[in-house]
Amino acid sequence: MTGFDLETVDRLLSTTRAVRKRLDLERPVDRSTILECIELSQQAPTAHDSQTWRWIVIDDQKLKDALSESFSVALPTIEKMRAHASTERENRFWDSVEFLTANLARVPVLVIPCVQVSPEERKLGGPATVYGSIFPAIWSFQLALRSRGLGSCLTTQHLMQKKKCDQLLGLPQDVEQIALLPVAYTQGTDFKSTKRPPPETITTFNGWTL
């Protein structure tokens, strides 16, 4: 016996979705709730236990407005990609991306996970160790939000204006921002698992035989 309630754990793992249209833009989010979720994320693994994760939490409206401008720069690209959408599911997806892009500044809190890595360390481990030391924590953070009635969406589109955003945030040279997570309570909590291909179609044993 592990002591885990598997039904609950599996539901958390399989229903933590990218939330955009169902973010509650009106309900405030306490800083203490964000810190609680960051604390849980700190149990995630990092390369050689570097613990180089850094988080910037933005609840200042002027800064949210400025970041949202950079986020919107992706809109023409989004529209071009949307032109290839052929299914209802794809159209729903692009609707939701456009909604978030138009409303980012209204989301109560924006969270930017970063890594602080020296040039030597970067050389030593390469990108897999740099990015691999933050993405597990990002996902833990998102799971912790979900279990508390909040939601988020891992986004990277503001990085089209990475330099400008680095300046806005006052990032030092050795700190790299990795993503932007709009965080809010969700409207309802009844998210569902989504259809993915059976694991056997993406897995081989003892070598590549796909």
Ligand X SMILES: Cc1cc2nc3c(=O)[nH]c(=O)nc-3n(C[C@H](O)[C@H](O)[C@H](O)COP(=O)(O)O)c2cc1C
What are the residues binding ligand X (CB under 6 A)?
A: 17-18, 93, 97, 100, 153-157, 194
Q: Please check whether residue 56 is in contact with residue 114, taking contact to mean a CB–CB distance below 8 angstroms.
A: yes
Closer of 3 and 197 to ligand X (Cβ): 197
Closer of 118 and 193 to ligand X (Cβ): 193
In whole angstroms, how close is the CB of 159 to ligand X at the nearest point? 8
Residue 39 exposed, middle or buried by CB count within 10 Å (0-12, 13-18, 19+): exposed
Contacts of 78 (CB under 8 A, 6+ apart): 94, 97, 98, 101, 157
Beta strands in the chain (DSSP E): 53-58, 109-116, 150-151, 175-177, 181-185
Closer of 49 and 190 to ligand X (Cβ): 190
Closer of 58 and 153 to ligand X (Cβ): 153
In whole angstroms, how close is the CB of 61 to ligand X at the nearest point? 21
The span from the CA of 163 to the CA of 173, in Å, is 11
In whole angstroms, how close is the CB of 120 to ligand X at the nearest point? 26
The span from the CA of 149 to the CA of 183, in Å, is 11
In whole angstroms, how close is the CB of 154 to ligand X at the nearest point? 4
